[in-house]
Amino acid sequence: MMERTERVEQVERDEQDTIIATRNLSRTYTMGKMQMTALNRVTLDVRRGEFAAIMGKSGSGKSTLLHQLGLLDTPTEGEIVIDEVEISGLSESEKTIFRLEKFGYVFQEYAILPEMTALENVYLPAMALGLSREEYVTKGMDALEKVGLAERADHRPREMSGGEQQRVAIARALINKPKILFADEPTANLDSASSRQILELFRALNRDIGQTILMVTHELEDADIVDRVIWLADGEVVDREG
Amino acid sequence: MTSTTTELKVSAFLAYKFIAKGNRGTTLLTILIMALAFVNLMFTTSVFDGMGDATENQVIDTLYSNIVIEPKDEEIYINNPDSVVKKIINVPGVIGTSAQYVTGATIAYKEKSGAWNIRAVDPDDERMVSLVPDMMIEGEYLSKYDRREIIIGKEIAGGHGGSLEHTSLGGVVVGDTVEVAFTNGVRREYRVKGIFDTNFFQSNHLAYITKKEMESVLGIHDMASQILVKTDTKGDEGRFLNQFVELGVHEDIKPWPVYAGIVATLTKSFDALNALTGAIGFFVAGVTIFIVIYVSTVSKRRQMGILRAIGIKESIIVRSYIFQAVFYAVCGCIAGLVIMFAILVPHFIKHPMVFPMGNVTLLIEQKAAITRSAGLIISAAIAGFLPSWRAVRETILDAIWGD
Ligand SMILES: Nc1ncnc2c1ncn2[C@@H]1O[C@H](COP(=O)(O)OP(=O)(O)OP(=O)(O)O)[C@@H](O)[C@H]1O
Ligand SMILES: [Mg+2]
Task: Give the residue from chain B lying closest to A115, CA to CA.
Answer: B21
- Low-confidence winner among B15-19, B122-126, B165-169, B302-306 (lowest mean pLDDT): B165-169
The pTM of this model reads: 0.79
Residue A44 scores a pLDDT above 70: yes
H runs (alpha helix) in B210-353: 211-218, 238-246, 261-299, 301-309, 314-339, 345-350
pLDDT of residue B256: 85
Residue A11 scores a pLDDT above 60: no
- Low-confidence winner among A3-7, A229-233, B235-239 (lowest mean pLDDT): A3-7
ipTM of the complex: 0.88
CA angle B198, B66, B261 (to 5 degrees): 70
Each residue's pLDDT tens digit, B233-266 = 887 888 888 889 999 888 889 888 887 776 667 6
CB contact under 8 A, B313 and A96: yes
End-to-end CA distance of chain B: 39
Question: What's the mean pLDDT in B74-83?
Answer: 90
From the CB of A57, is ligand 1 less than 6 Å away?
Answer: no
Contacts of B321 (CB under 8 A, 6+ apart): B15, B293, B296, B297, B384, B385, B387, B388
Burial label for B354, CB within 10 Å (0-12, 13-18, 19+), is exposed
- B286, B292, B295, B300: CA torsion to nearest 10: -110
Count of positions (residues) in chain B = 403
Residue among A129, A77, A121, A78 at smallest CA distance from A103:
A129
Confidence of residue B333 (pLDDT cuts 50, 70, 90): very high
pLDDT of residue A63: 94
| Nearest atom (ligand 1) to Cα of A27 | 12
Give the span between the Cα atoms of B237 and B101, in whole angstroms: 23
One-letter identity of residue A49: G
Q: What is the DSSP letter of B167?
A: G
Contact predicate B116/B105, CB 8 Å: yes
Confidence of residue A154 (pLDDT cuts 50, 70, 90): very high
Residue B354 scores a pLDDT above 90: no
pLDDT of residue B273: 80
From the CB of A62, is ligand 1 less than 6 Å away?
Answer: yes
Each residue's pLDDT tens digit, B357-376 = 788 899 898 988 999 899 88
From the CB of A38, is ligand 1 less than 6 Å away?
Answer: yes
Question: What's the mean pLDDT in B260-275?
Answer: 72
Q: How far is the CA of A56 from the centre of ligand 1 (A)?
A: 12
Residue A12 scores a pLDDT above 60: no
Give the span between the Cα atoms of B234 and B59, in whole angstroms: 11
User: Average per-residue pLDDT in chain B?
Assistant: 89
Contact predicate B178/B136, CB 8 Å: no
pLDDT of residue B179: 95
CB contact under 8 A, B313 and A128: yes
From the list A101, A115, A129, the residue facing B22 with the nearest CB is A115
Confidence of residue B267 (pLDDT cuts 50, 70, 90): low
Q: Name the percent of chain B lying above pLDDT 90.
A: 53
Contacts of B14 (CB under 8 A, 6+ apart): B307, B316, B317, B320
Each residue's pLDDT tens digit, A50-91 = 999 999 999 999 999 999 999 999 999 999 999 999 999 999
User: Average per-residue pLDDT in chain A?
Assistant: 90
Each residue's pLDDT tens digit, B96-129 = 999 999 999 999 998 899 999 999 999 999 999 9
Give the span between the Cα atoms of B319 and B298, in whole angstroms: 16
From the CB of A193, is ligand 1 less than 6 Å away?
Answer: no
Q: How far is the CA of B306 from the centre of ligand 1 (A)?
A: 19
Residue ranges with strand state E in B110-216: 112-121, 136-139, 149-153, 177-182, 187-196, 206-210
Residue B214 scores a pLDDT above 70: yes
Residue A212 scores a pLDDT above 80: yes
Query: What is the CB neighbour count within 10 angstroms for residue B90?
Result: 8
Burial A84-97 (b: 16+ CB within 10 A, else e): eeebeeeeeeebbb
pLDDT of residue B355: 83
Interface size A-B, in CB pairs within 8 Å, comes to: 72
Q: How far is the CA of A67 from the centre of ligand 2 (A)?
A: 10
One-letter identity of residue B116: W
pLDDT of residue A1: 44
Give the span between the Cα atoms of A81 and A47, in whole angstroms: 12
Residue ranges with strand state E in A57-175: 77-82, 85-86, 103-106
Looking at per-residue pLDDT, the higher value among B156 and B74 belongs to B156
CB contact under 8 A, A130 and B6: yes
Residue B285 scores a pLDDT above 70: yes
Looking at per-residue pLDDT, the higher value among A219 and B182 belongs to B182
pLDDT of residue B204: 92
